[in-house]
Each structure stands twice: as structure tokens, then as C-alpha cells.
A = this chain, B = another copy of it.
Amino acid sequence: MIPRAAKTQRRTRIQEEKEEKILEAALDVFSAYGFRGATIDQIADAAGMSKPNLLYYFRTKEAVHRTLLDRMLFTWLEPLKAFDADGDPESEIRSYIRRKLEMSRDFPRESRLFANEILQGAPHIEDELTGPLKALVDEKAQVIRTWAKAGKIAKCDPYHLIFSIWSTTQHYADFDVQVRAVLGNNAGEGRFEDAARYLEELFLRGLKVEKVIS
């Protein structure tokens, strides 16, 4: 016995495997239906196990969701953390856009999980938003402001700049169905590069210091 108490001490091979399988399935379901719209049965089915079996590894539906959110939030902020104050502004912004776009391509379910959570009022992660996230954004906004003051980029509201990078890049994951519908289901491979090229140009032109025509 000692099923869930032992988890904090030692983990079995089976525990490791099954928990991973559950989280994988839960990511599918939660990202597609939101927290309230998802059911444990659905997740258990997708994970190939019975509902009581799933609840043997995670006490509640909320525990599964929490674990997914915690994991996601960490990796989600990585690109912004990498934003380097000492780097070249243009290439920093360019690589930030690219990294965020790659995340939309490679982890669309995580993006939708996050979008669902925010859309529904962020009931589970409000503290993370007003705490760590705000602190990080405040810090990077200061960096951008410094660049602008030094004349390295055009003056602009750094917060709205960050918002616009977030929204444009995440759009390709969160609104994937719409993007597909509008572009037609073809253009599968080129789509990512097209978007990357367009966004880089938009932001870098938009931020370039205006040349004085002499």
C-alpha cells in the first residue's frame, strides 16, 4: 500500500511511466476542452487506463491540471528570460520572436492549455501572473526602455510590444483551426517560415530608428 504518500519519497518505474502517460493524455484533453469541459474518464480513456487507476496516481482532477500548468509555466517563460540586456537589440528581438514561434509550432497543446486558462479568468494561476510573470515582464520592459533611450530602437511602449509579440506568435497555436481554414490545409511546411519572415520584418521595421532623410 502506501500509494500516494510514498511518491514524495521514492518513485517506482511504473509510477514514472504512468504519470507521464496520464499527463500526456491530460494535455490533449485539457487543451481541447478547458478545465471544466474535460472529464477524468476522457483522460483515463486517452491514457489507456481506468478512472480509479488514474486517481491512484493523481488524487484529483485538479491535481492533474495543476501539474500540467506548473510544468508549462516554467518552460513558457524561458524565452523571455533569455532576453539579454547586453545583447544586440535587433537580434535579441528577432530571436525572441523566433523562439516564441517555434514554441507555437512544437508545443501547440501547451499554448492552448495556457490560453484556455487565461480565457476563463485564470482561476488557477492568478498568483503566478501578478507575481513572477509581472516581475519578469517589468524587468524586461526596463531593458527595452533602456534600448529606446539609448537610441538603439524606436521609442515604444515596451509592455505593448511584449503583448504584441506574445499574441502574434501564439496565434498560430491557439487559432490554428482558423489559420488552416483561411490558408487552406495545404502550405503545411512553408507556413512556419512564412510567418517567421513576416513577423520579423513587421517588428524590426516597426522598431527601427527612423532615418533622417538628408
Contact = CB atoms under 8 A, between A and B. Distances in A.
Contacts of A182: 129, 133-134, 137, 159, 163
A192 to B, nearest CB: 11
Contacts of A50: none
A33 interface: yes
A203 interface: yes
**How many copies of this chain?**
2
A116 B154 CA distance: 35
Given A133-B182, A182-B137, A206-B201, A168 B177 contact: no
A75 interface: no
A contacts with B: majority SS:
helix
28 contacts: A33-B37, A33-B120, A34-B36, A34-B119, A37-B37, A37-B120, A112-B119, A115-B119, A118-B177, A119-B174, A122-B177, A122-B178, A122-B181, A126-B177, A133-B178, A133-B181, A134-B182, A154-B205, A159-B183, A163-B172, A163-B175, A164-B199, A167-B170, A201-B206, A202-B203, A202-B206, A205-B205, A214-B214
